[in-house]
Amino acid sequence: MLNNIGLPGLLLIAVVVLVLFGRGKISSLMGEVGKGITSFKKGISEGQDEIAKSEEAKDVTPEAEKDKV
């Protein structure tokens, strides 16, 4: 169903959305989307930092236990 939209259909949808919601509402909505994307990227970065720190942890296993594995 959505495979046949094409460029004219997308333009028509954009115009209808613009008329229904207005420029101000769409602008604020896109600002919120941008903040969400930024927050998501920051969370991913912090998660990767935590993983890197946990990999750097010391191995405190006694030598006798290491030989068993």
pLDDT value of position 58: 65
Backbone CA torsion sign across 33, 36, 40, 45? positive
3-58: pLDDT as tens digits: 788 888 999 998 998 898 888 888 898 899 999 999 999 999 998 888 877 766 66
Helix (H), strand (E) at residue 5: none
| pLDDT band of 63, cuts 50, 70, 90 | confident
